[in-house]
């Protein structure tokens, strides 16, 4: 938890290790199963450190070997496309994520920190539902 001065780096070390292990194993993509953050509104420090780790491992020159065959506009509503199909991004390791119950969208605009990561082109955020009845 980011408020614990002794243990706050543990999550970042584990997060970094996920991607180092994935790259060593030469995986085609990584799926994050929600709760990337333990609260809906992580601190700026937490958000920036998370973005640094994602940027370090997502971008590069390796060709992408996965293909999304579903409707990306429907399944990735934050951007309408997956990041590796964006001509302005050089993605080597696609990262797909859903939100969890700790970092779920909230508020009038139904946004979360996952939306920021998706708009930055760092993750492909899916599983988000619009507000309504």
* Active-site annotation, residues: 102
- In total, the chain counts a number of residues equal to 133
Burial 75-108 (b: 16+ CB within 10 A, else e): ebbbbebbbbbeeeeebebbbbbbbbeebbbeee
Q: How far apart are the first and last CA of the chain?
A: 34
Contact by Cβ (8 Å): 30, 93: yes
């Amino acid at each position: 938890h980011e408020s614990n001065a002794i243990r706050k780096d543990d999550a970042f070390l584990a997060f970094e290790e996920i991607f180092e292990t994935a790259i060593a194993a030469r995986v085609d993509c990584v799926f994050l199963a929600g709760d990337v953050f333990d609260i809906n509104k992580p601190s700026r420090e937490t958000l920036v450190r998370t973005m640094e780790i994602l940027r370090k491992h997502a971008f590069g020159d390796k060709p992408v070997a996965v293909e999304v065959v579903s409707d990306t506009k429907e399944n990735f509503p934050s951007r309408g496309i997956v990041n590796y199909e964006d001509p302005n991004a050089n993605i080597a390791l696609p990262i797909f994520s859903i939100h969890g119950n700790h970092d779920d969208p909230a508020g009038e605009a139904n946004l979360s920190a996952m939306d920021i990561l998706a708009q930055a082109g760092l993750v492909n955020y899916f599983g988000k539902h619009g507000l309504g009845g």
